[in-house]
Amino acid sequence: MYADMAVPGTKLDAQAAAIMISQYRQNNALGTVVIDPDLMRLAESQSNAMAAANKMDHDVRAPLAKRLAAGGYPATVAVENISAGYHTLAEAFSGWRDSPPHRANMLKGGVTKLGIAASYAPGTKYKVFWTMILASTDPR
């Protein structure tokens, strides 16, 4: 949760992220989320693309729906938070929680799965690029 992602070789603790997001959702009368390997891969791809472009942008490669479809992910509900410049999971979470649109995504009803990634790019303005995807594959 407090590991500095701007240090080469640091690994994001996805389980800690799932616990943190789930507790936040439970505190707001919503269900928990679990790590989804496919969403983890898609989040990592998005973070890497933003880092490579030195740009924080949901559509740096393509809009979320197109990226999910291209990755073969059958989401029935999906939202994405991105950010850049935060060095720790705790900082990224706080930034999202304190931003109304990002908070709404974290509190989206019906999502049950999580993918999260942070990409370190030392030669860029922000250094660390974050992506969190929350989704469900359950029928509506």
Kindly write down the DSSP assignment for every residue of 91-106, as one continuous string. Answer: HHHHHHHTSHHHHHHH
As a whole number, the mean pLDDT across the chain is: 97
pLDDT of residue 139: 87
Gap between the Cα atoms of 12 and 26, Å rounded: 22
Give percent of the chain above pLDDT 70. Answer: 100
pLDDT of residue 43: 98
Band (pLDDT 50/70/90 cuts) for residue 1 is confident
**Residue 37 maps to which CATH number?**
3.40.33.10
Gap between the Cα atoms of 125 and 35, Å rounded: 29
Gap between the Cα atoms of 15 and 94, Å rounded: 17
Supply the DSSP symbol for 116.
E
pLDDT of residue 2: 87
Domain count, the chain: 1
Average pLDDT score over residue span 29-48: 98
Average pLDDT score over residue span 72-98: 98
Would you say residue 96 lies in a domain?
yes
pLDDT tens by residue, 16-34: 999 999 999 999 999 999 9
Q: Domain containing 42: what range?
A: 14-136
Gap between the Cα atoms of 3 and 92, Å rounded: 12
Would you say residue 5 lies in a domain?
no
Would you say residue 2 lies in a domain?
no
